[in-house]
Amino acid sequence: MLHPKSIAIVGASSDANKLNGRPFHFLRRDGYKGKLYPVNPKYAEIDGVRCYPDVESLPEAPDLAIIAVSQKLAAAAIAALGQKGTPVAIIFSSGYSELGAEGAKLEQELLQTAQSNNIRICGPNNLGLINAFENVTATFSQYADKTPIPGPVAFASQSGAFGTGIAALARGRGIGLGYFINTGNQADITLIDALIEIADDPRITVLSAYIEGLRDGTELIHLAHKALDLEKPLIITKVGRKAAGARAAASHTGSLAGEDRVFDGVLRQHGVIRARNEEHMLDLVSAFTCCPIPKGNGLAMITQSGGAGVLMADRAEELGLEVPIPTPETQAKLQSVIPSFGSASNPIDVTGQFLAEPKILSESVKIALDDPGIHCCIVWLQLLHGSADLLVDVFKGIQTGVDKPFIVCWLEAPESALRQLRDAGICVIGATERAVDAIAGLVQYSQARARHDGQPPPPSAHKNEQEPEQAMAIPSVRAAKLLEDMGIPLASAELATGPDAAREIADRFGYPVAIKIESPDILHKTEAGGVRLGLTDGESVVVASQEIMTAARAYNPAAKIEGLIVQRMVKPATELVLGVRRDPVFGPVVMVGLGGIFVEILEDVAFAAAPVTARQAELMLNGLQGRAILDGVRGKPPVDLHALIQVICDLSRFALAHPEIVELDLNPVFADSNGIIAVDWMMMCGTPNTTNRKAVP
Amino acid sequence: MLHPKSIAIVGASSDANKLNGRPFHFLRRDGYKGKLYPVNPKYAEIDGVRCYPDVESLPEAPDLAIIAVSQKLAAAAIAALGQKGTPVAIIFSSGYSELGAEGAKLEQELLQTAQSNNIRICGPNNLGLINAFENVTATFSQYADKTPIPGPVAFASQSGAFGTGIAALARGRGIGLGYFINTGNQADITLIDALIEIADDPRITVLSAYIEGLRDGTELIHLAHKALDLEKPLIITKVGRKAAGARAAASHTGSLAGEDRVFDGVLRQHGVIRARNEEHMLDLVSAFTCCPIPKGNGLAMITQSGGAGVLMADRAEELGLEVPIPTPETQAKLQSVIPSFGSASNPIDVTGQFLAEPKILSESVKIALDDPGIHCCIVWLQLLHGSADLLVDVFKGIQTGVDKPFIVCWLEAPESALRQLRDAGICVIGATERAVDAIAGLVQYSQARARHDGQPPPPSAHKNEQEPEQAMAIPSVRAAKLLEDMGIPLASAELATGPDAAREIADRFGYPVAIKIESPDILHKTEAGGVRLGLTDGESVVVASQEIMTAARAYNPAAKIEGLIVQRMVKPATELVLGVRRDPVFGPVVMVGLGGIFVEILEDVAFAAAPVTARQAELMLNGLQGRAILDGVRGKPPVDLHALIQVICDLSRFALAHPEIVELDLNPVFADSNGIIAVDWMMMCGTPNTTNRKAVP
């Protein structure tokens, strides 16, 4: 699909302004070297190229076909192409799943036609693709109204219109897109499939994508690992951040597993840089294209404006970048080149004097970047249209003299200077905070690469193809056994058949104890009056047990009561929540968060896909808003991080080992410097691929 | 200063490329109608205009003077101008407080020279000002390299270089700056002074400023009130957001009163729109210049891309905007104009079909804006260079047909279309999220205007000119008396002279009670073993009292012990912190936050300057991250908001009535549906303008 030696255009038109005429026009205009086969019974030739009445009459099976006919004719064309031996087709035709259930059915039929005729499809409802290296302008996108300029960036988009806009913005910034591909409805070939292929092209150094949703998250993880292995940054903009936020608003933690939070967690976990919007993505793409990867997070800012320096320092602090004070040696060197009314601190103010003496600027940048604590640099300036050529030379000189990343932030720069700097491979960003955001992306990626251990991606996890219609609670003691087998620490619990048995267990445990009702039909034990805490002697255990059973029977007379859980009381400590979910995209995911109001009000939880490594677990914890609580506050001891990380990893192993567990909540989990212990747990089991659900045997 | 009929340029040069030659050149080039008096003994005339050897020989006192001589000569020039009768001078000369203590001394001397010669000064270290209406280009800023185009926006900047960059960016967007003024070191005339004057000009409808720091916050509040009265939005970018953040990192709440949080709180309180950076500011300025003020927060998005719609909806939700589903009537109307494969929901997808039938777009916008729940609209599109003129006509048609605000978000728009739309007064923004941010600014301002009651600004509060070097704790019972006099509810407390007296008070209060040590020398009572809670009978009160006194004497043998505080125990409820601080810029400010980890870890507090109205207090509460806690969580009852608001207002009255109180902490304050009650308080008194500090009598 990406490097076809011949292309058929089914439904080609001679009108270059029409959707079905555009690809032929573009391919010819851009000097596509392969063979072109327009197919349309209306024409004998188009623009001097022989036109074929149908697929059957083509002289060979083309490497790639473009389907530019209406939805009614598309399936037949696909079948004919498959029969002919064409391996892949791009389907422009619309009228499929984008229109709802009926269209989705047509799309499914189209896919089946393709599969039974042994042809892969890209689309339908697709704008096509561009391989600018080999002049494959197989698209009707407005972006191709001008000949695409190749470059080291691949950009794949699920949206046609927004993708076209982003590609055009990239061109406007002088970013060369080696590949631009739209995957439309993704009936077969996905955006991720395409990027996995493209990643191997040595001409591509930066991968980027605009995503609205994924069906298979393991594919994305595979791509992310491949990109890290190949040292090619992968930048993704995904929309739908807040729909999940809304779903997550309910106070029950079970509802927190909103897709977008999971998506965000998995991107972090696997070293993908997430961009907020198209502008942020292009800033990042531009920085990654031009800059080496920084070896630390120390940022120097070199300006001729104190104000811009403060604004950048504000932003740097927000994004977790360091703004180090240069070493005394560096400061001394800076002072020897900067005028006395400048500043050798950071932000470094070189004053306007550098226009008279350009060395002031170039030397300052080099001196700053020589400082061991400084890993990257932003040079800020504005206007100076009269000195544009001089400045371009200064920056080119810097570029050849340094091996750490630097970004030029130039407000209202002259167009010619921008062009020259971009041609020289220098990253220029025209807004103050955005320059810092781009640096932060470089640093984030450098940290991700340092964490990457080169291990192969985890094998595809069992993924539940559909939501379980019904899930059953697993009895507490049985659930405890499963968790303990995986090494997850729980407060000891035993099932008693009645009040006297409860007393015996409690005597053995030692006091105080808690007593809880055990029934598969009572999920909310407290609500049912089925929980008593802090019982200090045998007599109160017996009384409490009797009261609990009475209350439970009153709460739900039909409930099957299996007995009473006797549990050793645990000293309250820092409260956490841990859990496992089955995400429809990523399969088993692990959740960790701070308990109480942190999870209820701030929804302060982090997700990662199983399996989770220790480094990834640490990253999850560092992403929590209330992270500082783990270090101990209000006189509480710090949490044993090592133990907590181990529990997260163990939970992820548990999630992989037990595909039948659709939901697990450990809440609360008490954590202090002596370790981690789950005090209450709720485990739900479902067998999503059958309608017959049972508790785990 | 703003409308001079004559201008002298002291130190004028004939070289238009030199700093001291530029204002003369600009004023002549731009056709300044008043009289120009270059002053320089080196020339008899400049460019045909008579040049005077010195200020004394000028034929009249000019309305305005520009001082473009070195720092050494500036003071003499100011003195001479003052003697001549010139009311105000702009001082370009640098070498003053921007260079540190020595320069600050020179600046102080310069100011004294000006004051004793009865002349106001703007600067020093200043780029000058532009009044583009009257062609007063009294600046050497690069922005004036092209003739300034007047428009309805005033922009004042404390930074010369950054200000110039922002002004140039404004020009690049077609935003006309009626005034552009840089106030440099602000020895005398401040940026706020200038904007207060400019606000009266009927040609100005939008006020904007770039600020690095203020000395007098009451001036800003005065400006904010004036701007609200005149219905002119005031947009401020202030840098230094995070320096305060760093200072506030310590866990003691007393350190939270970082300047920037106070600044942010006061801007919110008084209806000023704060912009994050230069780009955000110009987006807002553009929106305010073009759009009417929305009457609600319902946003419709009209797109030809589903993806862009989701991105905008994400952002709208983040910013607290509504994305309402149109009424059935509106949807029916939309469906009658939109193709069947579009969407009449919100975001509204009009499909690409509108290029063939422009009415689809224009009618959709009008129908959407007719919906009672929709108050503003963004139309999103990209490229379409071939249809630019058509689209310009469509938007002009919409502009004349609707009275609600709409913004065009056009990615990679053709330059000519941008120009035409801007000329037609239509707001165009070139990035997806930024369009939503601009709408949010309009909505925020509309809410501020609705809150504004037209009352005159509060009188200048007593401001402590310097930090108190030493402050003394006011004894608890005396502090309680002061607070209770202002109606602030406290848990009853009485001072006992010894254990037996404590028992008598406790018997009177009823049990349980708390006993605390009272000593001006023991601020951290718990640390000193000086607090015992939940005492249930007289005997334990006596024992606890004895133990406390022993512990306190051991803790600090030199401490003067005034007795024991006996306090009625209050049932724990939702924990809040309240307080009063003396801000160096705004004087007395009130703080409110959620207690416990919210204040310690998240620093979740809001500030406002005293006096605080009920509406403003409500706004403070709504700004808290954990706001939802006030509505009751985890089974806790909701907080009595009415009572809480009353306490905030009372505290602000307290702060105004007691200028000698430099710090007050009420922590914890328990709040539930029955009311608010402070359980512990710490009040510090200082007399900052003398070195002799005493407890309040």
Task: Please state, in angstroms and rounded to a whole number, the distance separating the CA atoms of residues B124 and B127.
Answer: 9
Q: Please report residues of B whose CB lies closer than 8 A to that of A304.
A: 161
- Asked if residue B383 has pLDDT above 60, the reply is yes
- Asked if residue A469 has pLDDT above 50, the reply is yes
> Which of B252, B278, B415, B436 would best serve as a mutation to test chain A binding (most A beta carbons within 10 A)?
B278
**Which residue did the predictor score with more confidence, A52 or B460?**
A52
> Which of A98, A312, A383 would best serve as a mutation to test chain B binding (most B beta carbons within 10 A)?
A383
Domain boundaries A574-685, CATH class: alpha beta
- Which tokens sit at B230? 């005149």
Confidence of residue A230 (pLDDT cuts 50, 70, 90): very high
Spatial CA neighbour of B57 closest among B79, B37, B27: B37
Q: Please report residues of A whose CB lies closer than 8 A to that of B241.
A: 314, 318
Look at A94 and B276 and tell me if their CB atoms are within 8 Å: no
- Asked if residue B692 has pLDDT above 50, the reply is no
What whole-number percentage of chain B has pLDDT above 90? 72
Inter-residue contact A461 to A610 (CB < 8 Å): yes
- Which tokens sit at A595? 């308990």
From A348-362, B198-212, B411-425, the region with the lowest mean pLDDT: A348-362
A307 vs B143, B162, B625: nearest CB: B162
Element (H, E) at B382: strand B376-382
Average pLDDT over residues A354-361: 88
Q: Please report residues of A whose CB lies closer than 8 A to that of B303.
A: 161
User: Count of CB atoms within 10 A of residue B250's CB?
Assistant: 12
Question: Any bridge partners for residue A380, and if so which?
Answer: A409
**Chain B nearest-CA residue for A252:** B634
* Closest CA of chain A from B12, distance in Å: 21
- Asked if residue A347 has pLDDT above 80, the reply is yes
Question: Any bridge partners for residue A121, and if so which?
Answer: A89
Q: Which residue is associated with the tokens 């693709």?
A: A129
Is the domain spanning B492-568 CATH 3.30.1490.20? The answer is yes
Task: Please state, in angstroms and rounded to a whole number, the distance separating the CA atoms of residues A14 and A17.
Answer: 9
Task: Kindly list the distances between the CA atom of residue A485 and the CA atoms of A488, A492, A658, B62, in Å, as whole numbers in the listed order.
Answer: 7, 13, 12, 91
B240 vs A239, A310, A601: nearest CB: A310
CA dihedral B388, B391, B395, B398 (to 10 degrees): 170
Inter-residue contact B592 to B667 (CB < 8 Å): no
Task: Please state, in angstroms and rounded to a whole number, the distance separating the CA atoms of residues B478 and B483.
Answer: 9
pLDDT of residue A341: 81
pLDDT of residue B179: 98
**CATH architecture classification, B292-451:** 3-Layer(aba) Sandwich (3.40)
* Closest CA of chain B from A688, distance in Å: 30
Residues 6+ apart with CB under 8 A from A89: A64, A65, A66, A67, A77, A78, A81, A114, A119, A120, A121, A122
- Asked if residue B245 has pLDDT above 70, the reply is no
Inter-residue contact B314 to B304 (CB < 8 Å): no
From A640-654, B73-87, B597-611, the region with the lowest mean pLDDT: B597-611
**Which residue did the predictor score with more confidence, B243 or B270?**
B270
Inter-residue contact A452 to A228 (CB < 8 Å): yes
Give the torsion sign (CA, A607, A613, A616, A621). Answer: positive
Q: Please report residues of A whose CB lies closer than 8 A to that of B598.
A: 597
Task: Please state, in angstroms and rounded to a whole number, the distance separating the CA atoms of residues B556 and A226.
Answer: 65
Q: Please report residues of B whose CB lies closer than 8 A to that of A311.
A: 162, 237, 239, 277-278
pLDDT of residue A480: 93
Tell me, what amino acid is at B685? C
Instruction: Tell me the pLDDT tens digit for each residue of B495-539.
Output: 999 999 999 999 999 999 999 999 888 877 888 889 999 999 999
From A368-377, A459-468, A562-571, B669-678, the region with the lowest mean pLDDT: A459-468
Q: Which residue is associated with the tokens 């919110």?
A: B268
Look at B634 and A597 and tell me if their CB atoms are within 8 Å: yes
Q: Please report residues of A whose CB lies closer than 8 A to that of B98.
A: 341
Greatest mean pLDDT among A601-610, B154-163, B466-475 lies in: B154-163
Instruction: Tell me the pLDDT tens digit for each residue of A57-92.
Output: 999 999 999 999 999 999 999 999 999 999 999 999
First to last CA, chain A: 49
- Please report the DSSP string for B268-319 in residue order: HHTTPEEESSHHHHHHHHHHHHH-PPPSS-BEEEEES-HHHHHHHHHHHHHT
DSSP 8-state assignment for residue A227: H
pLDDT of residue B243: 56
- The burial of B146, by beta-carbon neighbours within 10 Å (0-12 exposed, 13-18 middle, 19 or more buried), is given as exposed
- The pLDDT mean for chain B works out to 90
Q: Is A128 left (phi over 0), alpha (psi -120 to 50) or beta?
A: left
- Asked if residue A691 has pLDDT above 50, the reply is no
**Chain A nearest-CA residue for B629:** A601
pLDDT of residue B695: 35
CA B9 from chain centre, in angstroms, equals: 36
Confidence of residue B460 (pLDDT cuts 50, 70, 90): low
- Asked if residue B180 has pLDDT above 90, the reply is yes
pLDDT of residue B463: 57
pLDDT of residue A463: 56
- Asked if residue A498 has pLDDT above 60, the reply is yes
Inter-residue contact A371 to A300 (CB < 8 Å): yes
Confidence of residue B687 (pLDDT cuts 50, 70, 90): low
A412 vs B169, B602, B626: nearest CB: B169
- Please report the DSSP string for B103-165 in residue order: HHHHHHHHHHHHHHTT-EEE-SS--EEEETTTTEEEE--GGGGSPPPP-SEEEEES-HHHHHH
pLDDT of residue B697: 32
Look at A165 and B411 and tell me if their CB atoms are within 8 Å: yes
Spatial CA neighbour of A94 closest among B338, B342, B360: B342
Q: Please report residues of B whose CB lies closer than 8 A to that of A158.
A: 307
pLDDT of residue A247: 34
* Closest CA of chain A from B590, distance in Å: 24
CA B348 from chain centre, in angstroms, equals: 35
pLDDT of residue B148: 96
pLDDT of residue B405: 97
**Chain A nearest-CA residue for B320:** A242
CB contact burial A642-660 (16+ within 10 A = b; e otherwise): ebbbbbbbbbbbbbbebbb
Inter-residue contact A89 to A81 (CB < 8 Å): yes
What whole-number percentage of chain A has pLDDT above 70? 94
Residues 6+ apart with CB under 8 A from B348: B300, B301, B302, B303, B326, B334, B338, B342, B364, B368
Average pLDDT over residues B341-346: 86
Inter-residue contact A198 to A179 (CB < 8 Å): yes
Task: Please state, in angstroms and rounded to a whole number, the distance separating the CA atoms of residues B18 and A588.
Answer: 69
Look at B412 and A251 and tell me if their CB atoms are within 8 Å: no
Confidence of residue B469 (pLDDT cuts 50, 70, 90): low
pLDDT of residue A687: 60
- Please report the DSSP string for A125-136 in residue order: S--EEEETTTTE
* Closest CA of chain A from B307, distance in Å: 6
Spatial CA neighbour of A380 closest among A328, A326, A439, A321: A439
- Asked if residue A244 has pLDDT above 60, the reply is no
- Asked if residue A118 has pLDDT above 80, the reply is yes
**Domain-by-domain residue ranges, chain A?**
6-239, 292-451, 492-568, 574-685
Q: Return the CATH superfamily for domain A6-239.
A: NAD(P)-binding Rossmann-like Domain (3.40.50.720)
Phi, psi of A343 (to 5 degrees): -140, 130
Element (H, E) at B370: helix B359-370
- Asked if residue B633 has pLDDT above 90, the reply is no
> Which of B281, B597, B625, B633 would best serve as a mutation to test chain A binding (most A beta carbons within 10 A)?
B597
**Fold identical between A292-451 and A492-568?**
no
Task: Please state, in angstroms and rounded to a whole number, the distance separating the CA atoms of residues B434 and B429.
Answer: 7
For the question of an ipTM over 0.95, the answer is no
Confidence of residue A251 (pLDDT cuts 50, 70, 90): very low
pLDDT of residue A255: 33
- Asked if residue B361 has pLDDT above 50, the reply is yes
pLDDT of residue B467: 54
- Which tokens sit at B366? 């009008």
Tell me, what amino acid is at A375? H
Task: Please state, in angstroms and rounded to a whole number, the distance separating the CA atoms of residues A589 and A432.
Answer: 38
Average pLDDT over residues B325-330: 95
Confidence of residue B540 (pLDDT cuts 50, 70, 90): very high
pLDDT of residue A453: 81
Question: Any bridge partners for residue B131, and if so which?
Answer: B136, B179
User: Count of CB atoms within 10 A of residue A537's CB?
Assistant: 13
- Asked if residue B291 has pLDDT above 90, the reply is yes
Task: Please state, in angstroms and rounded to a whole number, the distance separating the CA atoms of residues B190 and B177.
Answer: 19
Q: Which residue is associated with the tokens 């909701």?
A: B638
Q: Please report residues of B whose CB lies closer than 8 A to that of A313.
A: 242-243
Phi, psi of B599 (to 5 degrees): -80, -35
Average pLDDT over residues B291-307: 92
CB contact burial A73-90 (16+ within 10 A = b; e otherwise): ebbebbbbbbebebbbbb
